[in-house]
Amino acid sequence: MIHMTALAAFIPYNTLVVAAGVAAVGCAAGVIGTFGVLRKRALVGDAAAHATLVGVASALLLTGQRDLAILLVGGLISAMVAIAFLVLIRKFTRTRDDAAIAIVLSVSFGIGITFISGMVSRGIPGSGGLERFLLGHTASLTAHDATLLGAVSAISVLCVVVGLKEATMVAFDPDFATAAGWPAATIDFVLVALVAVMVVVGLPAAGAVLVTALVVIPPAVARQWTERIVPMLVIAGAVGLISALSGVMISSLAVQLPTGPIVVLVATSFLIFSVFLAPCRGIVWRTRSACVFPSDSYDGNDTGTTADTVTERKS
Partner 1 sequence: MVENDSASKMHVDAPMLEWHDLTVAYGRRPVLWNVDFEIPKPCLFGIIGPNGAGKSTLLKASLDLVQRAGGSVRFWGQPLAQVRSRIAYVPQRETVDWDFPVTVMDVVRMGATSKLGWFQRGGKRERELALSSLDRVGLADCSNRQIGKLSGGQQQRVFLARALAREAEIYLLDEPMAGVDAGSQEQIFNILVNLRDQGKLIVAVHHDIRTAVEWFDAVALIDMRLVAAGPTAEILTPENLAMTYSGRLSVLDEIGEAVERGGRTS
Partner 2 sequence: MIALIADSGITLWFDRVGPLHGWAIATAVAVSACCAVVGTLLVVRRMSLLGDAISHAVLPGLVVAVLLGAQPGGVGVLLGATVAAMSTIWFTRFLFRHAGLWEDASVGVAFTTLFAAGVLLITVSGSRVDLDPGCVLYGILELVPFDTVSLYGWDIPRAFVSALSVLVLVILGVWCTWRWQVFTAFDTDAAKAAGIPVGGVTCGLLVGVSLATVTGFVAVGAILVVAMLVVPAAAAERLVHRLHHAIWLAVLFAVVGAFGGYLLAWRYSTSAAGMMAVVLGVEYLVAILIAPDDGVAARLVSKVVYLWRVQCEDRLASLWRAEESRQLVQEGGFAGLVTSWLCVSGQLRKEKNVFVLTPQGRVHAELIVRSHRLWETWLGKHVDLPVDHLHPPAEWIEHHLGEQVRKRIEDELGNKDIDPHGSMIPKEKP
Task: Please pick, from the candidates 3, 10, 40, 288, the single residue that binds partner 2 as defined by CB under 8 A.
Answer: 40
Identify which of residues 147 and 178 has a Cβ nearer to partner 1 in the complex. 178
Please report whether residue 257 would count as binding partner 2 according to CB under 8 A.
Answer: yes
Per CB under 8 A, contacts with partner 2 among 201-230 are 209-210, 212-213, 216-217, 219-220, 223-224
In the bound complex, what is the minimum distance in angstroms from residue 215's beta carbon to partner 1? 17
Identify which of residues 176 and 273 has a Cβ nearer to partner 1 in the complex. 176
In the bound complex, what is the minimum distance in angstroms from residue 145's beta carbon to partner 2? 22
Interface region with partner 2, contact rule CB under 8 A, candidates 7-15, 144-152, 167-175, 271-279: 271-279
Give the separation between CA 258 and CA 282, rounded to whole angstroms: 32
C-alpha triplet 314, 217, 43: angle, nearest 5°: 75
In the bound complex, what is the minimum distance in angstroms from residue 298's beta carbon to partner 2? 17
- The total of other beta-carbon atoms located within 10 Å of residue 239's CB is 26
Please report whether residue 277 would count as binding partner 2 according to CB under 8 A.
Answer: no
The binding site for partner 1 (CB under 8 A) comprises 38, 162-166, 168-169, 171-173, 175-182, 223, 226-229, 232, 292, 294, 297-299, 301-306, 309-310
**Which candidate, 186, 265, 232, 175, places its Cα nearest to that of 38?**
232
CB 168 within 8 A of CB 177: no
**Which candidate, 56, 222, 207, 55, places its Cα nearest to that of 138?**
207
Task: Please pick, from the candidates 107, 143, 154, 193, the single residue that binds partner 2 as defined by CB under 8 A.
Answer: 107
In the bound complex, what is the minimum distance in angstroms from residue 228's beta carbon to partner 2? 15
Interface region with partner 2, contact rule CB under 8 A, candidates 66-74, 115-123, 147-155, 297-305: 115-123
Identify which of residues 74 and 219 has a Cβ nearer to partner 2 in the complex. 219
Burial of 10 (0-12, 13-18, 19+ CB in 10 A): exposed
Identify which of residues 178 and 269 has a Cβ nearer to partner 1 in the complex. 178
Interface region with partner 2, contact rule CB under 8 A, candidates 22-30, 106-114, 146-154, 230-238: 106-114
How far apart, in Å, are the Cα atoms of 70 and each of 22, 29, 89, 126, 209? 18, 20, 29, 13, 20
In the bound complex, what is the minimum distance in angstroms from residue 2's beta carbon to partner 2? 37
Question: Under the rule (CB under 8 A), what is the footprint of partner 2?
Answer: 37, 40, 42-43, 46, 50, 89, 92-96, 98-99, 101-103, 105-107, 109-118, 121-122, 131, 134-135, 209-210, 212-213, 216-217, 219-220, 223-224, 256-258, 260-262, 264-265, 268, 271, 274-275, 281, 283, 294, 314
